[in-house]
Structure 1
Amino acid sequence: MTAELVRGQNHPLTQTRLEVRVSAGTPIVAAATLSDDRDRVRGAEWVAHPGAPVLPGVEVSRQAAARHRLALDLDALPDAAHRLHVVLALPVGTGGPARFGAAAAPFAAVTAPDGTPVADYTVTGLDTESALIALEFYRRQGTWKVRAVGQGYTGGLADLLADQGLTEAHRLAAAIHEAVARGLALSVPAPPPRPAHHDRSGQAGTPAGAAAHGGGAGTPAALPEGPTGTPAATHDAAPPYTAHEPAPAPGGRAPRPGMPSAGTSASRPVPPAGGPVDYQHPRRRPAAPPSSPPPAPEPPPGRPAPPVAGDAPGWSMEERLYNQVWGMFEDLARTTAAYRSAVQFADTRLEKELDQILSDPRSRIGGQGDAAREAARARHGELVDRARAVLDRDLAQLTAESDVVEPALPPAYARWDSPVWHGYRVPQESPQAIRLGDLHLPESGTLRIPFLMRLPLERGLWIDSGRTGSSAGPAGDAGERRQAALETAVGLAARLLAAHPPGECGVQVIDPAASGARALAPLVDSGVLAVPPARGAAGVTDVLARLTERVDLVQMAVRGGAADALPPGLDTSRQLLIVNDFPYGFDDRAVTRLRYLADEGPGVGVHLLMVADREDAAAYGPLLDPLWRSLLRLTPVPDDHLADPWVGHAWTYEPCRVPPGSQVLRQVLGRVAAARRPWVP
């Protein structure tokens, strides 16, 4: 039984080997300080931090991250140490929030090494503080206890350390922030380095940085990033939109600082003297990673290294696979940009040579001119063929890596036809991302890269049931398009439910016209819905009023530091609201509430999943433009409406669809429902 602590409350410990698992809505620095019987830190050697992460009996993370695991062995602490404080701080100069009041409340859980929960504490009531003491472990009459502290410091780490009696507090605080800033502690959302034997750098002389333009319905926007560039939807007549993910990695974080625009001369990498061009983005080559997988065996001379699932850095296999998937995304974007740039260069040179031939009166006619034109075309073909050979080589390596990685993905990252779903068990911890679908480029053939979105979702999702311009799905029948869109939404909802521990995520449905009964049947029949889908205008009003009230209450409680004062019957678990056939059944007040939920809901655990045709809401005019821009547009059929902020490729998105005739969706939802029953009041 977990002890849910409030500020000032303590809890006795029956064991001394423990873990402290910390999570926050933004990358933070985790540290630990030891103090003596007078509650004073004797020196810098009694502080564990990213630059010096190991002390006797305590080890902290080597990076700034949204999640941390601190290992404690209280019996191994120095004899003079009577207290241990778990310290959290916001990193300086990383572009993140400057105060804890602008981010989600930090959460700290004390567990046994095997994950058995002992106690947890949510640090509420923070505002301008940038550093805090979350927990205190102290020895009283030979017994160790843990106390929820929650003491914040507006002056940051320096004030916190000085308050604990450390004479060199300001110097040590500066050293900690400097260690984080220079890369000794990597932020989790930053892109991981690729191992040297997996570097897919292009060859010397191949131009890179080709200009790319988006396809689909509108101009590609500046898009939110995963570790390295999560694509986002573009909309008709929508201005560029940048989201922040996770809290989008999830929404915002803008395209990479210093990354030149595609197509400019600055975007072409300069080869080092005597060496090949390195197309790898500089952010893919940070300092030492937090944790590296075992090195792969050396390949035979002249052959590429065999792909290995989970060969990217990370603290767990799940994080390694997540980073590896986004590394594959980067590599595909890079090698395709190099190929397109090479072809563009060859085309430009051919045009220039042909113009020169035509400008010379002596070579306009006759055999001399024909020979010159043939030679120019031959040089053009040779350049294109060489570029294609390099692309084919990289695609073959990426395909081989995909064949190894795809079967190793956990359920939250896996396709619905993956065998991993047959052994699915409801998780005890939420994953860091879920799979929304697949991404590919025209040149990539059958290669598909999983499209992973960080959790918790910082943007709502919009499944477009209108005409997408794609020839891969139903284009003429509006009923078929809406059915396919709602089935896609149900699949995403099921994936979210399956990715969360019991009781941590719920789904509510608004279906005013009852037109989605067939697609919603898996959710309804399995019993995962707490209440049936809302029908008619009255049902719309009721659901929106309840969720709006929930958002208001949680916001007021968090801002007022009174999270413990929430009504006892209020469900504080994350909620996914599926809205079908918008705007049918919505009046002006309901539309206003929906916009409010889209803007304010994600910050307090209410997420929106809309199934709608934008043309159906055309009567509202520009009033709803902010709503459409705030949502990540997905489609029920393949459509090239996504773009990355790195090189601006127009990526084709394909949804994760359940194979026809498969019962995997119902089986998974049945297990989720069975696990949820003990959590239902």
Structure 2
Amino acid sequence: MTAELTRGQNHPLPRARLEIRVSAGTPVVAGATLGDENGTVHGVEQVAHPGSPTLPGLEVSRQAAADHRLAVDLDAVPDAVHRVSVLLALPVGGAGPVRFGAVAAPFVSVTGLDGDEVASYTITGLDAESAVVALELYRRQDTWKVRAVGQGYAGGLPELLTDQNLPQAHQLAGRIQEAVASGLARSVPAPPARAADGDRARPAATPAHGPDHGTAPQAGSGPVAPASPYDAQGAPAPAPQPPGAPGQHGTQQPCPDGPPDPAHAGRPSTPAAGGPIDYSHPRRQNAAPPPPPPTAPPAEPGQPARPVAGDATGWSMEERLYNQVWGMFEDLARTAAAYRSAVDFADSRMEKELDQALSDPRNRIGGQGDAAREAARARHGQLVSQAREVLDRDVAQLVAEAGVVEPALPAAFARWDNPVWHAYRVPMEIPMALRLGDLHLPEADGIRVPMLMRLPLERGLWIDSGRSTSTDGSSADSHEMRRLGLEAAVAHAARLLAVYPAGEFTVHVIDPAGSGTQALAPLVRSGVLAAPPAHGAAGAADVLARLTQRVDLVQMALRAGAPDALPPGLDTSQQLLIVNEFPHGFDDRAVNQLRYLADEGPAVGVHLMIVADREESAGYGPLLDPLWRSLLRLTPVADDHLADPWVGHAWTYEPSLVPPGSQVLQQVLAQVASARRPWGR
């Protein structure tokens, strides 16, 4: 059975000798590169193109054409080659189109020599790009797979080849286009339409004006690093890959074989002064390229380098910014750990020196003992002062970096007060992650690091509405905390709705006693909810029954290998259930259904967000403990309950809330509701 891939998805290749067929509807140049395990192409001799069409195990067309057939023999590919990237580019200087957004979406397929199709991919979502990496054949443990890439480049072949770390990228791109223009690779017109009984026709597609929505569950299967470094109860989560070296941002590299958890069409670019920032991404699974050269002016001699937004590794600006935020988090964790360790050492050394001074009887007479104690305290103060100086220097650098990174963040990563929300438009694909709040440490209160959660969510959220004393010393009673908890839940739900494409995220609400009417008003008035909030036991039972049935149906379809056999009319979008004032108004059956949704739902696109006070549920005994442990605990007020997996710091979490008096939430939800209406929801 043919696998119809979407961006980021992969499929095993059952044989070594294959054909890659391209149908573009307009003449294009086809080529391929041979890369190592990091995707690096080490020279022009590893690029097959019309002027030099053959490489070991690979042959491409000698001409620009609307249809291509590329021959591949994976057994003949050199052992050092781990990736074969298939490239498409529009000819330069001709009368044809200059961007893929002006033509129908190219269609590529991988077939056997007998013509049986193994996998196919329609490259939608291209606009200003004139070159694209269409597919990637990659080797994993002596087996080969194909991945749909669809990464476009507005800079054409030079930018594409540069992104593959080819030093002679611009010269080679020029030779390829010269070969096309000189007639060595003559351009031929598009062929007539294929007969119905002929080769598979490329599906019709209209020109797109933005990246398409890849359905690979980004934070779904096979992550290497956890979707969040924080445990719901403040305990460290399973350790991710080791962070980068000190002073250099580490990256959470995605699992090459699976849909991305940390994972990622678009043009990788560094924001220039006054220039636009492209946040689209191809959901690449393989190792990212090195960071681009900084665009900031050089620092003064002896001064630290000036920070640049997007200076981490990544295939796109969004991925670079994501990795840069992670790098800031790791750098702050390390520098705070070093400071605490230095202070602990100074304390220990001073205690040892004081003990030694007091243990010597000679120091007990006269002023010798006092002098020894003063000397020990002076050395302690010097060590602490030196450690603080290093900490302040590192924090100052991070503050400067945050100052350039924060304004460059896309909406999904940005605070509600960031101007990017005022230019909000409903996206065409989901982002890599979502900002749930900010994190900071007591030693560095001047720096706030965004807390980014990978998408789709891998675990539900628990908004703790229990009594709390904020880190600023203020306290809130139970009634106020319940209101704040539901308002925080609404803000998080609005963000999720805003970052998903139209119709691909659905929100349900259970409010048994109707106590959340005021806080839920933005969702209700805008019309973004699937239905009005469910009240009473009967309303809660109806919503839970429908969602548990959806989980059962999708699981059965996946286990049977028939994901297309779902009942007509089943809503296949991601589902979020907001539950207010749990567990009041819920019987044992409802509690078991919620536990089932928490455990089984995320894998099939059903997620929970529960607003509850854990202490109030103590009457249920240990029944609810597994539910609480499966959810990520967040608070509606600043609280230091989160821990990182590297050094075990207790981080202060501050929720991402809408500024008082701001209308940004209503404006965003109005656009979401308007975009959903054509879907008939």
Same fold? TM cut 0.5:
yes
- The corresponding residue for 1:524 is 524
**Closer, same or farther: CA 353–529 of 1 in aligned 2, 3 Å:** same
**Closer, same or farther: CA 427–229 of 1 in aligned 2, 3 Å:** closer
**Structure 2 CA distance for aligned equivalents of residues 116 and 548 of structure 1:** 43
**Closer, same or farther: CA 22–55 of 1 in aligned 2, 3 Å:** farther
Q: Please tell me the residue identity of whatever aligns with 1:565.
A: A
The answer to whether the 8 Å contact 2:241/2:252 transfers is no
- The corresponding residue for 1:82 is 69
1:229-253 deviation digits (Å, cap 9, x = unpaired): 94324439xxx574xxxxxxxxxxx
1:453 aligns with 2:438: no
The answer to whether the 8 Å contact 1:494/1:665 transfers is yes
**Closer, same or farther: CA 83–495 of 1 in aligned 2, 3 Å:** same
1:384-418 deviation digits (Å, cap 9, x = unpaired): 00110111111111001101111111110111111
- The corresponding residue for 1:462 is 462
**Closer, same or farther: CA 423–356 of 1 in aligned 2, 3 Å:** same
1:638 aligns with 2:672: no
The answer to whether the 8 Å contact 1:463/1:636 transfers is yes
1:362 aligns with 2:362: yes
Query: Mind listing any 5+ residue stretches in structure 1 that lack a counterpart?
Result: 1-6, 11-19, 39-44, 59-71, 88-110, 124-131, 138-151, 162-183, 186-223, 243-253, 260-268, 270-277
**Structure 2 CA distance for aligned equivalents of residues 550 and 49 of structure 1:** 43
- The corresponding residue for 1:431 is 431
1:570-627 deviation digits (Å, cap 9, x = unpaired): 0010011100000112111111100000000000000100000012211111111111
Which of these residues, 230, 233, 253, is aligned with residue 232 of structure 1? 230
- Which stretch shows the higher mean deviation, 622-631 or 28-37? 28-37
**Pairwise mapping of residues 104-183 of structure 1 onto structure 2 (< 5 A)?**
113-114=100-101, 118=105, 133-135=118-120, 158=142
**Pairwise mapping of residues 526-605 of structure 1 onto structure 2 (< 5 A)?**
526-605=526-605
**Closer, same or farther: CA 498–473 of 1 in aligned 2, 3 Å:** farther
The answer to whether the 8 Å contact 1:228/1:330 transfers is no
1:592 is paired with a residue whose SS is: helix
- The corresponding residue for 2:239 is 255
**Structure 2 CA distance for aligned equivalents of residues 390 and 349 of structure 1:** 20
- The corresponding residue for 1:221 is none
Aligned length: 511
Q: How far apart are 1:256 and its partner, in Å?
A: 4.3
**Structure 2 CA distance for aligned equivalents of residues 134 and 583 of structure 1:** 47
1:485-531 deviation digits (Å, cap 9, x = unpaired): 00000000000000011011111000000000000000000000120
Query: Mind listing any 5+ residue stretches in structure 2 that lack a counterpart?
Result: 22-31, 51-58, 75-89, 91-98, 111-116, 123-136, 146-163, 166-221, 254-285
**Structure 2 CA distance for aligned equivalents of residues 55 and 344 of structure 1:** 56
Measured on the aligned residues, the alpha-carbon RMSD in Å equals 4.3
1:293 aligns with 2:292: yes
The answer to whether the 8 Å contact 1:32/1:48 transfers is no
Q: How far apart are 1:424 and its partner, in Å?
A: 0.5
The answer to whether the 8 Å contact 1:541/1:590 transfers is yes
Q: How far apart are 1:56 and its partner, in Å?
A: 3.4
Q: How far apart are 1:447 and its partner, in Å?
A: 1.0
**Pairwise mapping of residues 250-399 of structure 1 onto structure 2 (< 5 A)?**
254-256=238-240, 279=246, 289-296=288-295, 297-399=297-399
The answer to whether the 8 Å contact 1:33/1:48 transfers is no
Q: How far apart are 1:661 and its partner, in Å?
A: 0.8
1:72-130 deviation digits (Å, cap 9, x = unpaired): 9988689997257899xxxxxxxxxxxxxxxxxxxxxxx9844988489999xxxxxxx
**Closer, same or farther: CA 528–461 of 1 in aligned 2, 3 Å:** same
**Structure 2 CA distance for aligned equivalents of residues 285 and 457 of structure 1:** 17
**Structure 2 CA distance for aligned equivalents of residues 115 and 431 of structure 1:** 25
The answer to whether the 8 Å contact 2:17/2:73 transfers is no
**Pairwise mapping of residues 395-414 of structure 1 onto structure 2 (< 5 A)?**
395-414=395-414
- The corresponding residue for 2:614 is 614
The answer to whether the 8 Å contact 1:30/1:86 transfers is no
1:507 is paired with a residue whose SS is: strand
**Closer, same or farther: CA 337–281 of 1 in aligned 2, 3 Å:** farther
**Closer, same or farther: CA 37–332 of 1 in aligned 2, 3 Å:** closer
**Structure 1 CA distance for aligned equivalents of residues 357 and 465 of structure 2:** 53
2:551 is paired with a residue whose SS is: helix
Q: Please tell me the residue identity of whatever aligns with 2:119.
A: A
**Closer, same or farther: CA 282–413 of 1 in aligned 2, 3 Å:** closer
Q: How far apart are 1:549 and its partner, in Å?
A: 0.4
Q: How far apart are 1:305 and its partner, in Å?
A: 1.2
1:22 is paired with a residue whose SS is: coil
**Structure 2 CA distance for aligned equivalents of residues 429 and 117 of structure 1:** 19
The answer to whether the 8 Å contact 2:6/2:121 transfers is no
- The corresponding residue for 1:145 is none
**Closer, same or farther: CA 133–399 of 1 in aligned 2, 3 Å:** farther
**Closer, same or farther: CA 9–356 of 1 in aligned 2, 3 Å:** closer
The answer to whether the 8 Å contact 1:34/1:83 transfers is no
1:424-471 deviation digits (Å, cap 9, x = unpaired): 111111100000000000011221000000001001000000023435
**Structure 2 CA distance for aligned equivalents of residues 464 and 86 of structure 1:** 57
**Closer, same or farther: CA 502–474 of 1 in aligned 2, 3 Å:** farther
**Closer, same or farther: CA 490–122 of 1 in aligned 2, 3 Å:** farther
Q: How far apart are 1:472 and its partner, in Å?
A: 4.2
Q: Please tell me the residue identity of whatever aligns with 1:23.
A: G
1:621 is paired with a residue whose SS is: helix
**Structure 1 CA distance for aligned equivalents of residues 680 and 66 of structure 2:** 47
**Closer, same or farther: CA 468–37 of 1 in aligned 2, 3 Å:** closer
**Structure 2 CA distance for aligned equivalents of residues 335 and 121 of structure 1:** 49
2:657 is paired with a residue whose SS is: coil
Structure with higher RCO (Cα < 8 A, 6+ apart): 1
- The corresponding residue for 1:142 is none
1:242-275 deviation digits (Å, cap 9, x = unpaired): 4xxxxxxxxxxx214789xxxxxxxxx9xxxxxx
1:36-83 deviation digits (Å, cap 9, x = unpaired): 699xxxxxx99777556674369xxxxxxxxxxxxx998868999725
1:148-185 deviation digits (Å, cap 9, x = unpaired): xxxx99x9774669xxxxxxxxxxxxxxxxxxxxxx99
The answer to whether the 8 Å contact 2:249/2:331 transfers is no
**Structure 1 CA distance for aligned equivalents of residues 247 and 14 of structure 2:** 33
Q: Please tell me the residue identity of whatever aligns with 2:498.
A: A
Q: How far apart are 1:33 and its partner, in Å?
A: 8.1
The answer to whether the 8 Å contact 2:3/2:119 transfers is no
1:564 is paired with a residue whose SS is: coil
- The corresponding residue for 1:484 is 484
The answer to whether the 8 Å contact 1:435/1:452 transfers is yes
Q: Please tell me the residue identity of whatever aligns with 2:233.
A: H
2:446 is paired with a residue whose SS is: coil
**Structure 2 CA distance for aligned equivalents of residues 56 and 631 of structure 1:** 50
The answer to whether the 8 Å contact 2:439/2:450 transfers is yes
- The corresponding residue for 2:676 is 676
Q: Please tell me the residue identity of whatever aligns with 2:7.
A: V
The answer to whether the 8 Å contact 1:233/1:643 transfers is yes
The answer to whether the 8 Å contact 1:31/1:86 transfers is no
The answer to whether the 8 Å contact 2:250/2:326 transfers is no
- Which stretch shows the higher mean deviation, 415-424 or 287-296? 287-296
**Structure 2 CA distance for aligned equivalents of residues 603 and 474 of structure 1:** 39
**Structure 2 CA distance for aligned equivalents of residues 37 and 628 of structure 1:** 49
Q: How far apart are 1:660 and its partner, in Å?
A: 0.7
- The corresponding residue for 1:209 is none
- The corresponding residue for 1:213 is none
